[in-house]
């Protein structure tokens, strides 16, 4: 029987996970929730998704949106909820809806690790999520760091990592936040990303700093990894090429910026022009000229989509699928991901 899934919090991540779930052969998208009227509800209705209301239904009725029931009605119909609610609301939803109704749930990176007890990146620690009731898919940045560092760790062993994250200021459709013009350092040391990586990639020493810039097109990470063995550039390139959900892009093919990666994603036909794969620039992979066991690389992370396949895998793991590679392959095939 198909796994019955609903999305509570139909925003940037939620709408994407809803579409991804609808594409999986072993899952059924039962519905999505909405707490205010917008083009998102218009599009959800157009796609044939059942819409469950949170709070007042008046604006939906006025605009011709058919409501299938309330969020409470939805709880009786599903095995797993994907919680895409804003930061901290996920924890409230857990106490109010999921625990009392004994429903499994995935949470997003805005929630604390303790809320779910298990933090998750499929390629790294899928097994930890098998059979669990609550799993937290880590943030886009943490997911990006874990995906590539996990490969490097398995290949050479990591002593420590220093990473600087140059973050997009806001998402493309967000007209309320900045900066329009400026560079905004995150004024805490380390930034929260380092400790967050350690909830998934256990025992790796990592120190991160972050700053925001005037772009909506992806984050970029500049990573320095001190390794237990001397790295080889060609070996690293091949390892990234072989890994799922990592893409090696090249200056030689005129991919010189996040803007061109986003254009490539559109050209490749990814839904919404998303790039769910972490993109590493081949020409920006380097080793220490003085012979230390250091590896340098730069990667781009699409903040809106890299965690989408992770949510799908987390659902399968929670529902008992034990084979990580099988789940990753199924998710990737349905979504057109490498």
Tell me: does residue 338 bind its own copies (CB under 8 A).
no
From candidates 48, 102, 181, 242, binder to its own copies by CB under 8 A: 181
CA angle 152, 158, 163 (to 5 degrees): 80
Catalytic residue among 7, 135, 138, 140: 140
Nearest CB to its own copies, comparing residues 4 and 272: 272
CA distances from 123 to 54, 147, 282 (A): 35, 7, 21
Nearest CB to its own copies, comparing residues 173 and 189: 173
Tell me: does residue 39 bind its own copies (CB under 8 A).
yes
Nearest CB to its own copies, comparing residues 44 and 165: 44
CA distance 30 to 22: 9
Query: Whole-number minimum distance, CB 43 to its own copies, in Å?
Result: 4
Which residues lie below 8 Å from residue 177, measured CB to CB, with a gap of 6+?
Answer: 169, 170
Tell me: does residue 268 bind its own copies (CB under 8 A).
yes
- Tokens 């690293």 -> residue: 236
Query: Whole-number minimum distance, CB 275 to its own copies, in Å?
Result: 12
Tell me: does residue 195 bind its own copies (CB under 8 A).
no
Torsion of CA 79, 84, 88, 92, to 10 degrees: -30
CA distance 151 to 59: 49
Query: Whole-number minimum distance, CB 257 to its own copies, in Å?
Result: 5
Residues in the chain: 338
Tell me: does residue 273 bind its own copies (CB under 8 A).
yes
Tell me: does residue 264 bind its own copies (CB under 8 A).
yes
To the query of whether residue 124 is one of the catalytic residues in this protein, the response is no
Residues forming a β-bridge with 228: none
Rg of the chain, C-alpha, whole Å: 20
Q: Segment 196-255, which members bind its own copies (CB under 8 A)? A: 214, 217, 249, 252-255
On the CB side of 151, CA atoms within 13 Å amount to 23
Tell me: does residue 260 bind its own copies (CB under 8 A).
yes
Nearest CB to its own copies, comparing residues 29 and 225: 29
Phi, psi angle pair for 201, to nearest 5°: -95, 85
Tell me: does residue 269 bind its own copies (CB under 8 A).
yes
Nearest CB to its own copies, comparing residues 154 and 256: 256
Stretch that binds its own copies, among 77-85, 141-149, 270-278, 285-293 (CB under 8 A): 270-278
Tell me: does residue 42 bind its own copies (CB under 8 A).
yes
Which residues lie below 8 Å from residue 149, measured CB to CB, with a gap of 6+?
Answer: 158, 161, 197, 201, 204, 206, 223, 225
Query: Whole-number minimum distance, CB 171 to its own copies, in Å?
Result: 9
Q: For its own copies, how many residues bind (rule: CB under 8 A)? A: 36
On the CB side of 234, CA atoms within 13 Å amount to 0
Q: Please give the positions annotated as active site.
A: 140
Residues that bind its own copies (CB under 8 A): 15, 37-40, 42-43, 46, 63, 172-175, 180-181, 214, 217, 249, 252-257, 259-260, 262-264, 266-269, 271-273
């Amino acid at each position: 029987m198909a796994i019955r899934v609903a999305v509570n919090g139909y925003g940037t991540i939620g709408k994407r996970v809803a579409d991804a779930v609808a594409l999986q052969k072993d899952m059924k998208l039962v519905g999505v929730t909405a707490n205010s009227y917008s083009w998102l509800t218009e599009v959800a209705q157009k796609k044939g998704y059942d819409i469950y209301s949170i709070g007042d239904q008046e604006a939906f009725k006025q605009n011709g949106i058919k409501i299938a029931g309330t969020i409470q009605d939805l709880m009786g119909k599903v095995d797993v909820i994907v919680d895409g609610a804003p930061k901290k609301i996920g924890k409230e939803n857990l106490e109010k809806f999921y625990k009392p109704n004994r429903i499994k749930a995935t949470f997003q990176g805005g929630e604390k690790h303790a809320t779910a007890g298990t933090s998750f990146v499929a390629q790294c620690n899928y097994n930890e999520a098998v059979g669990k009731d609550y799993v937290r898919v880590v943030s886009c940045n943490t997911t990006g760091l874990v995906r590539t560092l996990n490969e490097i760790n398995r290949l050479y062993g990591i002593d420590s990592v220093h990473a600087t994250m140059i973050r997009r200021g806001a998402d493309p459709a967000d007209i309320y936040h900045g900066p329009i013009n400026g560079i905004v350092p995150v004024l805490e040391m380390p930034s929260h990303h380092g400790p967050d990586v350690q909830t998934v990639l256990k025992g790796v020493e990592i120190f991160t700093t972050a700053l925001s810039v005037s772009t909506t097109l992806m984050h970029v990470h500049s990573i320095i990894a001190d390794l237990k063995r001397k790295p080889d550039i060609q070996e690293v390139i091949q390892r990234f090429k072989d890994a799922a959900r990592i893409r090696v892009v090249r200056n030689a093919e005129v991919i010189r910026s996040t803007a061109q990666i986003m254009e490539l994603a559109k050209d490749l036909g990814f839904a919404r022009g998303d790039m769910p794969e972490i993109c590493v620039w081949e020409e920006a992979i380097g080793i220490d000229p003085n012979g230390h066991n250091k590896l340098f690389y730069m990667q781009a992370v699409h903040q809106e989509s890299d965690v989408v396949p992770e949510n799908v895998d987390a659902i399968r793991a929670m529902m008992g699928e034990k084979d990580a590679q099988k789940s990753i392959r199924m998710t990737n095939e349905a979504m057109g991901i490498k």
